């Protein structure tokens, strides 16, 4: 009985998504004719198909991960939708599911509904003046026709017991279409290996940077403090005024060392993130940017610390590049969460032509974001504008 109920729920919800698929097919055909609509309609279609992936995963117990999002500039996304094999599989699923999902779902709903009615036909037909029509359009106005409902109920019961087989058949070809192909899995595995290597490399570079800052900055200043205190101690008995001056210099040097140490700590995880959250911290960055910067942000709430730090440093590096290299008059930062992903956009009206090979920090942003299974892309044609797009999973 449990399997029958699971199959009934699976097929019935499939009928709902099949109806949505018919609508999506119409939208998809319109988008193919009007190509600029593809970047808008493709994510909507992906959501419908992702719901079926979740429905299939609940029924089968297997995982069916969603393909990576199609990010990047508008025209680039339109071209990728046309060339993306995952998008083509989504389109094939819409067509096949619209046909078979409607048929299987209708059977799953209609047969149990008709079965519920049949046992009561011999009981109530005589109480209805002139009889009535049963689920199959037969006008029941005699005992012979009334008792005909009993063998019909037996047949319908047998059909209901076969619903798990029907659901398994639907799930089998759904798995063939929705499960990532082997080549895609191998590509994803290669991406994970490369991302892990990049994360380890970025982590090593970060440790070397912290060690270098502590060694070349803070440590040198602390050594200077110790030397000044030693000088003050030696001159205290013979020249108290000189000792006081040495102590003051040591105090100033200690203050510089403390400030240097604070800067190193901020570079690891900025305290402003703990105090203000990501949106407040980005607002502070925008306010300090030499180029007039406008922030557009949803109410993000608190996000995982690693995600907040990656987004913060990405915006900080991007705004630094805007101030140093872009020649822009204005800059904009937007933050938003959609489908459990944080999207960060930083764009300016500068001259463009940003090159990751010229030490602008873009490679560092990409490595930090990739370590969290996110994506970072830069569009910067000559003449501008420059747009940095960072997408990070928030794990909600």
Which burial class, exposed, middle or buried, applies to 213 when counting CB atoms under 10 A from its CB (0-12, 13-18, 19+)? middle
What mean pLDDT is reported for the chain? 77
**Count of helix runs (H) and strand runs (E) in the chain:** 14, 7
Tokens of 122: 């011999």
- Per cent of the chain over pLDDT 70 is 72
- In the prediction, which pLDDT does 379 show? 84
Residues 277 and 263 grouped into a single domain: no
116 in the same domain as 33: yes
Write the pLDDT tens digit of every residue in 65-86.
777 666 555 555 555 666 677 7
> Is residue 110 predicted with pLDDT exceeding 70?
yes
Nearest to 341 by CA among 374, 306, 385, 379: 374
Q: Is the dihedral of CA 303, 307, 312, 314 positive or negative?
A: negative
> Mean pLDDT throughout 202-222?
69
Nearest CA to 11 out of 114, 103, 91 is that of 103
What is the pLDDT averaged over residues 160-179? 86
Last residue of a domain, one of 178, 205, 235: 178
Residues in contact with 156: Cβ distance below 8 Å, sequence separation at least 6, in sequence order: 111, 112, 114, 115, 118
**Using 50, 70 and 90 to split pLDDT, how confident is the model at 338?**
confident
Q: Are 330 and 212 in the same domain?
A: no
How wide is the angle at C-alpha 364 spanned by C-alphas 362 and 368, nearest 5°? Answer: 120
- Say if residue 233 is in the same domain as residue 331: no
Domain count, the chain: 3
Final residue of a structural domain among 221, 242, 268: 268
Distance (Å, whole) CA 282 – CA 210: 23
92 lies in the same domain as 20:
yes
Angle at 374 between CA 345 and CA 265, to 5 degrees: 80
Q: Looking at per-residue confidence, does 84 or 143 come out higher? A: 84
pTM: 0.46
Q: Is the predicted pLDDT of residue 244 greater than 60, yes or no?
A: yes
Contact (Cβ atoms closer than 8 angstroms) between residue 95 and residue 129:
no
Domain that holds residue 341: 273-393
Q: Are both 297 and 369 inside the same structural domain?
A: yes
Q: What is the average per-residue pLDDT within 358-372?
A: 71
Note whether 238 and 293 are same-domain residues.
Answer: no
Q: Residue 105 in contact with residue 15, Cβ under 8 Å? A: yes
Of all residues in the chain, the percent with pLDDT exceeding 90 is 1
């Amino acid at each position: 009985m449990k399997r029958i109920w699971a199959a009934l729920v699976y097929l019935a919800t499939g009928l709902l998504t099949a109806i949505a698929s018919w609508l999506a097919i119409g939208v998809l055909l319109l988008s193919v004719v009007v190509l600029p609509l593809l970047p808008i309609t493709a994510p909507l279609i992906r959501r419908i198909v992702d719901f079926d992936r979740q429905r299939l995963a609940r029924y089968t117990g297997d995982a069916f991960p969603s393909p990576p999002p199609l990010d990047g500039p508008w025209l680039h996304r339109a071209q990728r939708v046309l060339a993306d094999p995952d998008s083509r599989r989504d389109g094939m699923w819409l067509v096949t599911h619209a046909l078979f999902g409607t048929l299987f779902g209708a059977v799953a709903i209609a047969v149990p509904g008709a079965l519920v009615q049949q046992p009561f036909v011999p009981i109530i037909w005589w109480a209805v003046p002139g009889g009535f029509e049963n689920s199959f359009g037969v006008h029941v106005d005699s005992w012979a026709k009334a008792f005909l409902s009993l063998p019909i109920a037996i047949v319908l019961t047998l059909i209901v017991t076969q619903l798990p087989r029907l659901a398994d058949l639907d799930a089998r070809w759904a798995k063939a279409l929705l499960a990532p192909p082997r080549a895609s899995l191998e590509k994803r595995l290669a991406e994970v290996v490369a991302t892990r290597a990049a994360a380890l490399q970025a982590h090593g570079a970060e440790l070397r940077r912290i060690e270098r800052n502590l060694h070349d900055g803070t440590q040198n200043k602390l050594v200077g403090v110790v030397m000044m205190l030693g000088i003050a101690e030696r001159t205290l008995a013979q020249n108290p005024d000189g000792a006081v001056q040495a102590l003051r210099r040591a105090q100033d040097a200690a203050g510089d060392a403390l400030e240097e140490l604070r800067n190193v700590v901020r570079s690891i995880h900025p305290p402003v993130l703990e105090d203000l959250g990501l949106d407040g911290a980005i607002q502070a960055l925008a306010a300090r940017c030499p180029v007039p910067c406008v922030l557009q942000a949803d109410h993000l709430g608190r996000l995982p610390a690693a995600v907040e730090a990656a987004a913060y440093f990405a915006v900080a590096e991007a705004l630094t590049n805007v101030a140093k290299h872009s020649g822009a008059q204005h800059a904009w930062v937007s933050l938003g969460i959609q489908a459990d992903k944080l999207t960060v956009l930083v764009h300016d009206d500068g001259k463009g032509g940003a090159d990751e090979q010229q030490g602008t920090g873009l490679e560092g942003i990409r490595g930090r974001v990739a370590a969290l299974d996110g994506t970072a892309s830069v569009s910067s044609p000559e003449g501008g504008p420059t747009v940095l797009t960072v997408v990070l999973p928030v794990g909600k």
